[in-house]
Chain A
Amino acid sequence: MNINDVYFGVIGGSLIGISAIGLMYTLGRIAGVSGILQAAFWSNEKSWRILFLIGLLATTSLFHYFNPGHIAERQGFPLGLLAFSGVLVGLGVALGNGCTSGHGICGLSRFSKRSLIATLVFFALALITRYVFHTLWGIAP
């Protein structure tokens, strides 16, 4: 285990938490990115959500521009499989009303039973899927 990674993880996770607290304190909104993304396209309150997404996109881009060695750019992942997984994630977050941030972090933090069930289900399915697609079938690198 790399101790630097623990440090990166805890600082980064806390920043995500502070963002979630801030959004609730100021605008009374859940910091669920799939919900924000959906309502940025389809709702009557688009602008702050579009700015949230722009802030997210700009910051991550600048961070990786200035810290080129921080993470590696993945190469060679099959694009068909990637698009298929995009469809599944889109269908899933729209049907289930949330993703890792909305259900997993914000939902659990306010003790929502629906979010607890959703979080257990998507973590379990992700583990099984990884086993099948990587270890068993070897089609996802």
Chain B
Amino acid sequence: MKKNLFGLLFGVLFGLGLSFSKMTDPQVVLDFFDLFGDFNPMLLWVFASALLTTLLGYKLVFKIKKPAFAKEYHLHERRTIDKPLIIGAALFGIGWGISGYCPAPVIGVAYINPIEFLVFVIPMVLAIGLIRLFRFN
């Protein structure tokens, strides 16, 4: 029950941050990638401040032995740089560069742009499922 409450709370905060910072406008994101065109630095402000905040916060959090409402920190301890990581990051980057959507902001357009939301999210979830099918079966 507590877990659900925290899930909801931090989803709300995340969504507030995304919409306030205009990340739910894919054109703002695409204009960041347009280094030699209509360059818009917005993504840099958002990314840098989110990174700096999290970096400082994690430092404090990890001084505590375990999370407040769970048995342990769930971190991926894999260290190797393997092919799936590189190929995956590359495919993701290409998709992101085409439409300006990554998984969080696209959820934020469900109300303002429901057609783009559905046309992007359904193929994305199916593709995730496809990879899981091959990886875990």
Q: Is the CB of A88 within 8 A of B94?
A: yes
Q: Mark B1-35, 1 if CB is under 8 A from A, else 0.
A: 00111111111111111111111111110100111
Instruction: Name B25's closest neighbour in chain A (CB-CB).
Output: A71
Give the complex CA separation of A9 and B91 in angstroms.
26
Give the complex CA separation of A49 and B15 in angstroms.
14
Give the complex CA separation of A126 and B62 in angstroms.
32
Q: Is the CB of B90 within 8 A of A71?
A: no
Q: Which residues of A contact B53 (CB under 8 A)?
A: 13-14, 16-18, 20-21
Give the complex CA separation of A85 and B55 in angstroms.
30
Identify the A interface with B (CB < 8 A).
1, 5-6, 8-31, 33-34, 37-38, 41-42, 47-61, 63-65, 67, 70-74, 77, 79, 81-97, 99-101, 103-106, 108-110, 112-114, 117-119, 121-131, 133-135, 140
Q: Is the CB of B99 within 8 A of A19?
A: no
* Chain A binding surface, main DSSP class: helix
Q: Which residues of A contact B74 (CB under 8 A)?
A: 28-30
Q: Is the CB of A99 within 8 A of B116?
A: no
Nearest chain B CB to A3 CB, angstrom units: 11
Q: Is the CB of B12 within 8 A of A58?
A: yes
Q: Which residues of B contact A99 (CB under 8 A)?
A: 92, 102-104
Q: Mark B48-69, 1 if CB is under 8 A from A, else 0.
A: 1111111101100110101111
